[in-house]
Amino acid sequence: IQPPEKPLRAEEWKRLREGFSSPEIFEDVMLNSMVRYNSPIDVAKSLLTHVAKSHGDIAYSLLIKYLALCVQQGKTSEIRDVYDIMKTRFKILESGAYNLFIRGMSNSDQWRMALTLLEEVKKIMIPSRANYESCIKAASRHREMNLAFELYREMLDKDLVPTLDVLQAFFDSSRGMKGAELQKELFGILFYLRDNQIYPHKTFMRSVKLWFESIPGETWRGHLTSIKDSGECPVCNHQLEDSNLTEEEYDNLRERIVRDVIHGTDPFRKTSPQEFEAFQAFVESRLPFDIVIDGLNVSHMKPRQTQCENLFNAVNCLAKGNARLLVLGRKHMLSNSSSWRKELMMEMQNKADFFFAENISEDDTFLLYATLQSGKHCKFVTRDFLRDHKACLSDSVTRHLFRKWQRGHQIAFYSSAEGNHINFLPALRYDCVVQTTGDTWHIPYKNSFEEKYSYQVPRQWLCLHQK
Amino acid sequence: PSEKIDLDGWKKVMKSGLQEVSETVSEQKELSALDGARELLEMWRLAGRSVPENITEEQLKDFIGCPSKSAQKKYLKFLYIKELRKKSDKRKLIEKRERLQAQERESKPDETKKNSFMCFWANSMDKAYNWRVAQSMIFGQPLVFDMSYENDMTIREVANTVKQIVLSEGFNRRSVDPFHIHFCNLQEDSLYQKEFIKHYREAWDRLLVTATDQCYTEVFPKDKLVYLTADSPKVMKTFDHDKIYIIGSMVDKSIKTGVSLARAKRLGLETAALPLEKYLLWSSGAKNLTLDQMMHILLTLKDTGDWKKALEFVPKRKYSGFINKP
């Protein structure tokens, strides 16, 4: 229903209510649609007056809706009035009301009131990240950076994940401000992005650039660029960090893959202990490999060709540089059918080592194990994003390690439209993550806000260096 | 004069009635966690969220113990819907009673009914059913429920599992030729056991099933066992009256593929999946069925051997029709 444009008198509300199909929820529906149409608050006030005079009281849910309308229109004094009324009328308030109060007050000149409200919320529950967001933004808008950072740290302590919006607000409002302490805090945010492998989007990147260039007394210059395949920045000729893991990280990752991904809760789910032992012995006796290939994944590359022709092409292509290859497959590939011809399979086995798992086993887990066991130089070939395996890892630190290792070691492929040619996308030689050397910063960023797949790595970079 | 509308009149009303309320509010003490939660829920209810009206202390503790805000929300909604259902059931019962009373008043009381059939009371039906099940315990084909999944489930999943098994047992008891049900790997004092006793009370000890903490491999010869699991690579062609089928007593609301297949692999048992894709045009939904649906299907297969008839018990929303020529 469309709310009236002007305040109505009691009789007029009464008439409207009687004409409505279900009068018992008339006020709720009416106030909801006032919020939707952003009606003038005087109209809502006249409805509340009518309700108050006929019932002697106003239900909590109606007050909340009225409050939402006031917040939407930034009517600060009205918000305060509603707060006073609610505080005396009810013993405690619930999260919905507090969300509105904090949002409403933080956008006004009485923004410190929002901080008091935040303290009140803490007494009954853990505040939401939106609550913190409102308060932090209010504080940084008024250039109270210490306060803003204090709230930010408090939020992280409570395991709340800040939105990129809040982080961006820090850079926006620190523009042109001086102070070593402040600079350290902002660098801290960039390290937060690095540790959690978060890529900022374009507008965020611009805020970072503008802040760097505005630091008084320093001569930062920012350029947008894309990094060469060799890992060199074309602007400042700086070589980016390589994607290798440290010895310790590497061992840790390998151990966790065996424990969480291959064995998991039950070693029989993905393979069987006998089969895994046989595979381990097989790998040990032939180490090290240079490239490990997911045979079945590669064999589906071109639908026009038979599966074994696809695999044959890929093996030929990858075997060129005298690389030691391991192809993983399943036993059904040996059955000499129309899609798996015996003579081609025989020929391939001269060029590469093959391991055939049981038909009901998962060959991906073998792929991960063989690659990690071969050492840091070893790469693997599959089009699979391995997201389900990443999900088996129990903590985020190891998952980040896995992603880093995957970026540096996975060879993806695509087939060109004509001919048998296969194109392999080499693994990245440099690590795609926020990084610094002190006098340079390199920050990868996403072109738009929507790109969100974990396997996608941005190609654009912000290069910052001092003149 | 019509322009004059009192806009802030509501504030006066809200503030005027406050004197007596604010006095009680002023002597506010530190609320205990439970009381605080109760107050909070009450406010949420007033705000129009899906929160139950009445909540027990135990439920309140569960609510506080939820690991995240979304878990709390889900739990409250669950309780809220349960409460709504209870209320509407009660209302329907009262309506039915009134309707019956009205009917009685209308019908003439003097006519006595004459019937040549003996009246079958529930009691004597039970006796007839029990006789059949007792026979099946001696001569019937065994059907095993594998009760070894407690650690793979949440408490609520275990409760759902037991509910489904109770239903299955009921269907089996009333069928023409019942299975001899075995609960294998059922440990004393397990969650399963506790839930069973909740449902059956004292009837649990009189239930005509075989419950044992032994594994089915200890009770039956290995080569006769077939583990039914949707993850099996083998598809069942016909129902074999000499085999002993095993159903995993597990409700899996999260995604845990291959748990029961792993169990069968570990023990080196034969496995089989229902031929759902051979007979049905599958549209959506997981291929794992509830335990009572499995029971219906197996009972029908045992009696008729007709796949089409048996697979009628697959929920209609999961498939769009039968395949004409399988």
Q: Look at residues B322, B290, B321, B319 and name the one whose alpha carbon lies nearest to residue B306.
A: B322
Q: Are strands A410-415 and A379-381 parallel, antiparallel or unpaired?
A: parallel
- Residue B124 confidence (pLDDT): 79
Instruction: Find the helix or strand (DSSP H, E) in which A293 lies.
Output: strand A291-294
Tokens of B226: 């077939």
**Structure-token match 């210059």, residue found:** A221
Long-range contacts of A342-348 (CB under 8 A, 24+ apart): A344/A308, A344/A309, A344/A312, A345/A308, A347/A312, A348/A311, A348/A312, A348/A315
- Residue B2 confidence (pLDDT): 46
Tokens of A113: 């009131």
pLDDT at A77 over 80: yes
B199 and B246 inside one domain: yes
pLDDT at B110 over 80: no
Mean pLDDT of all residues in A66-76: 94
How many residues are listed for chain B in this entry? 326
Closest chain A C-alpha to B267 CA, distance in angstroms: 10
Percent of chain A having pLDDT more than 90? 45
pLDDT at A420 over 80: no
Chain A contact for B93 (CB, 8 A cutoff):
no
- Closest CB to A269: pick one of B21, B49, B259: B259
Give per-residue pLDDT as tens, B90-109.
999 999 999 999 888 877 65
**Structure-token match 């469309």, residue found:** A2
CB atoms within 10 A of CB A203: 14
Chain A contact for B94 (CB, 8 A cutoff):
no
Quote the domain boundaries for residue B58: 18-106
Q: Please tell me the distance from the alpha carbon of residue B171 to that of residue B50, in angstroms, as a whole number.
A: 35
Give per-residue pLDDT as tens, B166-175.
999 999 999 9
Confidence of residue A315 (pLDDT cuts 50, 70, 90): confident
B94 and B196 inside one domain: no
Residue B38's φ and ψ, nearest 5 degrees, are -60, -45
- Residue B112 confidence (pLDDT): 60
Closest chain A C-alpha to B242 CA, distance in angstroms: 27
Any idea which of A348-357, A453-462, B88-97, B296-305 has the lowest mean pLDDT? A453-462
pLDDT at B114 over 70: no
DSSP string, A46-80: HHHHHHHHHHSS--HHHHHHHHHHHHHTT-HHHHH
- Residue A292 confidence (pLDDT): 93
- Closest CB to A64: pick one of B11, B36, B47: B47
- Mutation to test the A interface, candidates B2, B4, B5, most A Cβ within 10 Å: B5
pLDDT at A307 over 90: no
User: Which residues of chain B make contact with A94, given a CB cutoff of 8 A?
Assistant: 40, 43-44, 46-47
CB atoms within 10 A of CB B144: 27
pLDDT at B28 over 80: no
The larger pLDDT score, comparing residue A455 to residue A48, is at A48
CB contact under 8 A, A52 and B13: yes
- Mutation to test the A interface, candidates B8, B10, B15, most A Cβ within 10 Å: B10
ipTM value for the complex = 0.77
Residue ending a domain, among B106, B129, B162, is B106
The answer to the question of residue B124 being in a domain is: no
pLDDT at A402 over 60: yes
Q: Look at residues A381, A407, A367 and name the one whose alpha carbon lies nearest to residue A298.
A: A381
CATH assignment of the domain containing B252: 3.40.1280.30
Alpha helices of A158-272 — where are they, by DSSP H? 164-173, 180-195, 202-214, 247-256
Mean pLDDT of all residues in A39-64: 91
User: Which residues of chain B make contact with A270, given a CB cutoff of 8 A?
Assistant: 258
B57 and B146 inside one domain: no
How many angstroms separate the most distant Cα atoms in chain A? 94
Give per-residue pLDDT as tens, B216-248.
999 999 999 999 999 898 999 999 999 999 999
**Mean pLDDT, chain B, integer:** 87
Give per-residue pLDDT as tens, B49-67.
999 999 999 899 989 988 8
Instruction: Find the helix or strand (DSSP H, E) in which A460 lies.
Output: strand A460-466
CB contact under 8 A, A58 and B10: yes
Closest chain B C-alpha to A23 CA, distance in angstroms: 17
Do the Cβ atoms of A316 and A420 come closer than 8 Å?
A: no
Do the Cβ atoms of A443 and A164 come closer than 8 Å?
A: no
Any idea which of A90-94, A327-331, B1-5, B205-209 has the lowest mean pLDDT? B1-5
The larger pLDDT score, comparing residue B4 to residue A381, is at A381
Range list of β-strands (E), chain B: 142-146, 180-184, 210-211, 225-228, 244-248, 270-272, 280-282, 319-322
Mean pLDDT of all residues in A169-192: 93
Any idea which of A367-381, A446-460, B293-307 has the lowest mean pLDDT? A446-460
- Mutation to test the A interface, candidates B28, B34, B43, most A Cβ within 10 Å: B43
**Structure-token match 């960090």, residue found:** A241
User: Which residues of chain B make contact with A92, given a CB cutoff of 8 A?
Assistant: 31, 36, 39-40, 43
Do the Cβ atoms of A241 and A431 come closer than 8 Å?
A: yes
Chain B 245-274, residues with CB within 8 Å of chain A CB atoms? 257-259, 261-263, 265-266
User: Which residues of chain A make contact with B31, given a CB cutoff of 8 A?
Assistant: 92
- Closest CB to B44: pick one of A51, A58, A94: A94
The residue ranges of every structural domain in chain A are 247-427
Closest chain B C-alpha to A368 CA, distance in angstroms: 20
Confidence of residue B27 (pLDDT cuts 50, 70, 90): very low
The answer to the question of residue B121 being in a domain is: no
**Mean pLDDT, chain A, integer:** 88
Any idea which of A95-109, A273-287, B297-311 has the lowest mean pLDDT? A273-287
- Indicate the number of domains in chain B: 2
B202 and B76 inside one domain: no
B148 and B228 inside one domain: yes
B162 and B309 inside one domain: yes
Q: Please tell me the distance from the alpha carbon of residue B106 to that of residue B100, in angstroms, as a whole number.
A: 10
B95 and B159 inside one domain: no
Chain A contact for B111 (CB, 8 A cutoff):
no
- Residue A451 confidence (pLDDT): 60
- Residue B34 confidence (pLDDT): 86
User: Which residues of chain A make contact with B259, given a CB cutoff of 8 A?
Assistant: 265-266, 269
Chain B contact for A94 (CB, 8 A cutoff):
yes
Q: Please tell me the distance from the alpha carbon of residue A125 to that of residue A148, in angstroms, as a whole number.
A: 21
**Structure-token match 């004059």, residue found:** B4
pLDDT at A162 over 70: yes
CB contact under 8 A, A88 and B21: yes
B88 and B157 inside one domain: no
The larger pLDDT score, comparing residue B167 to residue A272, is at B167
Confidence of residue B26 (pLDDT cuts 50, 70, 90): very low
Q: Please tell me the distance from the alpha carbon of residue B308 to that of residue B305, in angstroms, as a whole number.
A: 9
pLDDT at A407 over 90: no
B163 and B300 inside one domain: yes
The answer to the question of residue B10 being in a domain is: no
pLDDT at B21 over 60: no
Mean pLDDT of all residues in A33-56: 91
- Residue B225 confidence (pLDDT): 95
Chain B contact for A46 (CB, 8 A cutoff):
yes
Chain A 242-271, residues with CB within 8 Å of chain B CB atoms? 265-266, 268-270
Tokens of B208: 């005509």
Q: Please tell me the distance from the alpha carbon of residue A467 to that of residue A226, in angstroms, as a whole number.
A: 20
B71 and B155 inside one domain: no
pLDDT at B121 over 90: no
pLDDT at A267 over 90: no
The larger pLDDT score, comparing residue A345 to residue A35, is at A35
The domain at A247-427 falls in which architecture? 3-Layer(aba) Sandwich (3.40)
Any idea which of A211-215, A397-401, B213-217 has the lowest mean pLDDT? A397-401
Mean pLDDT of all residues in A168-185: 92
- Residue B128 confidence (pLDDT): 84
B219 and B311 inside one domain: yes
Q: Please tell me the distance from the alpha carbon of residue A255 to that of residue A195, in angstroms, as a whole number.
A: 21
User: Which residues of chain A make contact with B6, given a CB cutoff of 8 A?
Assistant: 49
Give per-residue pLDDT as tens, B71-87.
999 999 999 999 999 99
B148 and B100 inside one domain: no
